[in-house]
Structure 1
Amino acid sequence: MAQVLDTDVAIVGAGPAGLFAVFECGMLKMRAVLIDALDEVGGQCTALYPEKPIYDIPAHPAIEAADLITQLEKQIAPFDAPRLLGRRVTGLSGAAGAFTLSTDKGDQVKAKAVIIAAGAGAFGPNRPPMGGLEAYEATGGVQYYVRRREDFRGKRVVIAGGGDSAVDWALALKDIAASIAVVHRRPKFRAAPEMAARLDEAAAKGEIEMVIPYQLQGLEGGQGNLSGVVVATLQGEQKVLPADVLLPFFGLSMDLGPIADWGLALERHHLPVTPATCETTMPGVLAIGDVATYPGKLKLILQGFAEGAMAAHAIHPIVHPGKALHFEYSTSQGVPG
């Protein structure tokens, strides 16, 4: 059912950065509404890898993605922010102090400022260029996300890729799967150095097979049941890796959807922002998290958290014009009732 809401800040995207922005706005006595195309909050943490351990959240040596979202929801609960889930923002009109956002379900949200925390936008996997993928995708022989580690218990798993996802999941599944083989075209990985070192250590112990320098070439099996992954060197030397599941981790394709038509400056599917305020090229519209870009930007959840705080402070003069902001630490201020 379509809703008409009046708020201070409309937050587009309910992933970690968007959720924390609710908290930061609330601490400055600004009301917020969350809007997300997914049917539940959490963004990629919920939709793609709820059981993936995250290692760079302060005070948490490791925390699973779903648990992080649960804790963030508890943190913002006192502010009771309305949520429009399963909705895609289709239009933005007005100006700073008086925006109107519309959704594909007919909702109208009036807000004084907008924070775009859309992550990768509408996301989907970059699929490897191999024939016959569809048949194996349908049976789970080829998968692009890991929602439950237990689904891979006792299976022969081949992981392809050289980034954080490939390395993190190789380590997370090595004690569950029957075997793990990691296929990469070169010895150097683009993952965090500590995790890459752990991968090397696991390989040295024989817990993970490193298939380097190879690339995916083809799939073997019948009736959608995967039995092997064909890999090849740049010189054309081939071999077959026994496999029940192939996990290709080649990143996500980004689609900002209607946001790309709002008149904001774009830079390779990202929104350039002023680092000190996170404001885009449109006054009153700010961007945080993975969708925002500026010199020195790090695509880390913790940086998205910091940007949420910066954006909230930048928005305060728009929401409360003429009212001085006397910043207090949360330890002395507490959470507003």
Structure 2
Amino acid sequence: MQKNYDVTIIGGGPVGMFAAFYCGLHQLSAQLVESLPQLGGQLTALYPEKQIWDVAGLPGITAAKLVDQLKQQLAIVDVDQFTGEKVTDVVANADGTFTIHSANRTSQSKSVVIALGNGAFHPRQLRLAGAEDLTDQQVHYFVRHKADFKGQRVAVLGGGNSALDNAKMLAEVAEQVTLIHRRDQFRGHELVADQLRAMDGVDMMTPFLPRNLEVNDDQSLTLSLKKMRSDEERQLTVDKLVVNYGFTSNNDALSNWSLQLASDHHQIKVDQQMATNVPGVYAIGDAVTYPGRTALIATGFGEAPIAVAALAKRLYPEKSMAIHSSSLKIN
């Protein structure tokens, strides 16, 4: 027999996990469905040791620790969790409910919260001859374990938060870290950039752009760098190269669903209650767009209770929704 839920949260990243907890907090029957084998989304899959700085009250918490604490929080409430299960379709039924299809089962839900983040993501590649053949050997796009870089000379390419955070993290274990960016100003947090400038064993090379890459006999790499708006060129030899040029991402899976969701630049349009154009369907996190939105984990954490409160009022208009957690009894 198919189980009929009040809420189905699709996407088990940090924002989806918090939304599931908030559903349980208000005793809504909920299921959390995640396509990856484990909860945590990109934090778990790509950079578990990266420090997260945009969550209030948890300065510099590692991604793995944040996910672990979200799991502990989620364990307090009664929410069904399904991992390794990709949602293949969401069908709006005539009675206003929804049928959720995945590879191995079908379930019913009175409402849906989409928390897919950026969906499928791929790192922007280093466009130098030979770089593709070195991927996951000398050239890396993710730092899953900083111990893999211990005692080595590492160059980090990029100027955003990922590049700055990875450079700072690797400086703790590497022999030398060189951060290379094509501009003098960084797009990431200036505080972290200032911290890097003050660290021993860290060199900031700006504004330089890599032009060529060669593998040496000892398997080290020599980068040829050109200074922007100048004829100056430099050579840099390193053991490993970390490329942080950002990601290309999409939620193409949504296009295969029966729902006709309004979108803008491949992101789901929502209103102030995080409601989509389909009644009963809400969306939160980096998959959504509205004026003034900032793409931060903290933003998604704020969107989760807004969506859950709105859908609860829609499902149970007579129910009094306690706003503050101190008003609720938590075992």
SS of the residue 2:264 aligns to: coil
| Deviation of 1:236 (Å) | 5.7
- 1:281 counterpart (277, 280, 287): 277
**Is the counterpart of residue 325 in structure 1 residue 320 in structure 2?**
yes
Distance 1:326 1:37, change over 3 A: closer
Residue 8 (structure 1) aligns with: 6
Farther-moved stretch of structure 1 (229-238 vs 262-271)? 229-238
Q: Which amino acid aligns with 1:47?
A: A
Q: CA separation in 1, counterparts of 2:44 and 2:217? A: 31
| Deviation of 1:4 (Å) | 4.6
Residue 233 (structure 2) aligns with: 238
| Deviation of 1:325 (Å) | 2.4
Q: Which amino acid aligns with 1:99?
A: F
Residue 27 (structure 1) aligns with: 25
Q: Which amino acid aligns with 1:227?
A: L
**TM score, norm. by length of structure 2:** 0.92
Q: Which amino acid aligns with 1:161?
A: G
Residue 38 (structure 2) aligns with: 40
Residue 54 (structure 1) aligns with: 52
Residue 298 (structure 2) aligns with: 302
Q: Which amino acid aligns with 2:280?
A: G
Residue 228 (structure 1) aligns with: 222
Residue 189 (structure 1) aligns with: 186
Q: CA separation in 2, counterparts of 1:287 and 1:243? A: 44
Q: CA separation in 1, counterparts of 2:190 and 2:207? A: 19
| Deviation of 1:91 (Å) | 1.0
Residue 171 (structure 1) aligns with: 168
Q: CA separation in 1, counterparts of 2:74 and 2:291? A: 30
Residue 290 (structure 1) aligns with: 286
Taking the TM superposition and a 5 Å limit, the aligned residue runs for 1:133-212 are 133-138=131-136, 140-202=137-199, 206-212=200-206
| Deviation of 1:222 (Å) | 5.4
Distance 1:119 1:311, change over 3 A: same
SS of the residue 2:135 aligns to: helix
| Deviation of 1:142 (Å) | 0.7
Q: CA separation in 1, counterparts of 2:46 and 2:37? A: 13
Distance 1:5 1:242, change over 3 A: farther
Distance 1:226 1:115, change over 3 A: farther
Distance 1:23 1:176, change over 3 A: same
| Deviation of 1:134 (Å) | 2.7
- 2:67 counterpart (63, 66, 69): 69
Q: CA separation in 1, counterparts of 2:52 and 2:16? A: 18
| Deviation of 1:223 (Å) | 8.4
| Deviation of 1:20 (Å) | 0.2
List per-residue Cα deviations over 1:208-248 (Å, max 9, x = no partner): 11111111223211589342222223456432211111111
Farther-moved stretch of structure 1 (26-35 vs 253-262)? 253-262
Equivalences, count:
327
| Deviation of 1:98 (Å) | 0.7
**Is the counterpart of residue 118 in structure 1 residue 112 in structure 2?**
no
Q: Which amino acid aligns with 1:313?
A: A
Distance 1:328 1:279, change over 3 A: closer
Q: Which amino acid aligns with 1:32?
A: A
Farther-moved stretch of structure 1 (7-16 vs 81-90)? 81-90
Farther-moved stretch of structure 1 (16-25 vs 127-136)? 127-136
Q: Which amino acid aligns with 2:18?
A: F
Q: Which amino acid aligns with 1:101?
A: I
SS of the residue 2:159 aligns to: coil
Q: Is the 8 A contact 2:121 2:249 kept in 1?
A: yes
SS of the residue 1:79 aligns to: coil
Q: Is the 8 A contact 2:114 2:281 kept in 1?
A: yes
| Deviation of 1:177 (Å) | 0.6
| Deviation of 1:171 (Å) | 1.1
Q: Is the 8 A contact 1:13 1:118 kept in 2?
A: yes
Residue 334 (structure 1) aligns with: 329
CA RMSD of aligned residues (A): 2.0
SS of the residue 1:37 aligns to: coil
SS of the residue 1:39 aligns to: coil
Q: Which amino acid aligns with 1:240?
A: Q
List per-residue Cα deviations over 1:66-100 (Å, max 9, x = no partner): 11111111111132322222222221111584111
